[in-house]
Amino acid sequence: MGDDAANPPIVWLASYPKSGNTWLRFSVAALIEGDLPSSRFVQERMPDIHESGFKPFLLLEQNIAFAKTHFMFSDSMPGRGLTAGFIYVIRNPIDVLASNYNYILRNAPKATQPLELYVDRYLKNY
């Protein structure tokens, strides 16, 4: 299993949320494909395992698929048996916190809490 188009071996692009996984996907896609016509193109070729209908896209010349994940590598991780490798993004936790807070400010300004309270809650759950 893992050698055909239905179940290709997967290289996971793994990170904690807001650590730069999207940047990594675009960088890897640009290295492999050259010009990138759209964000959708990258999403199709390096899909997110957390989205419904997840299906790895086999890069025929490389005989491998790439996929995004925030899952911890464990026995219960979906697709674990197809793992060919991984690229793990590690980002300074302070930068992750700032990125996540800014994301919330942009996307849910009414749900925003004071920065000090947000930092306290974030650190308790990190």
Which structure tokens are listed for 111? 């749900």
Confidence grade of residue 3 (pLDDT, cut at 50, 70, 90): very low
Per-residue pLDDT of 30-61, as tens digits, reads 998 888 889 999 998 899 999 888 888 888 77
Nearest in space to 30 (alpha carbons), one of 69, 66, 84: 66
Which positions ≥6 away from 22 have C-beta within 8 Å? Answer: none
Residue 122 has pLDDT above 70, yes or no: yes
Three-class secondary structure of residue 113 per DSSP: coil
Q: Give residue 7's pLDDT.
A: 83
Q: What is the pTM of this model?
A: 0.79
Rounded Cα distance between 100 and 20, Å, is 11
Which positions ≥6 away from 11 have C-beta within 8 Å? Answer: 64, 65, 66, 67, 84, 85, 86, 87
DSSP 50-93: TSTT--PPPBTTTTBEEEEE-S--STTSTTGGGEEEEEEE---H
Per-residue pLDDT of 72-85, as tens digits, reads 899 999 899 999 99
Residue 5 has pLDDT above 70, yes or no: no
Three-class secondary structure of residue 121 per DSSP: helix
Domains observed in the chain: 10-90 (3.40.50.300), 94-125 (no CATH)
What percentage of the chain carries pLDDT values higher than 90? 50
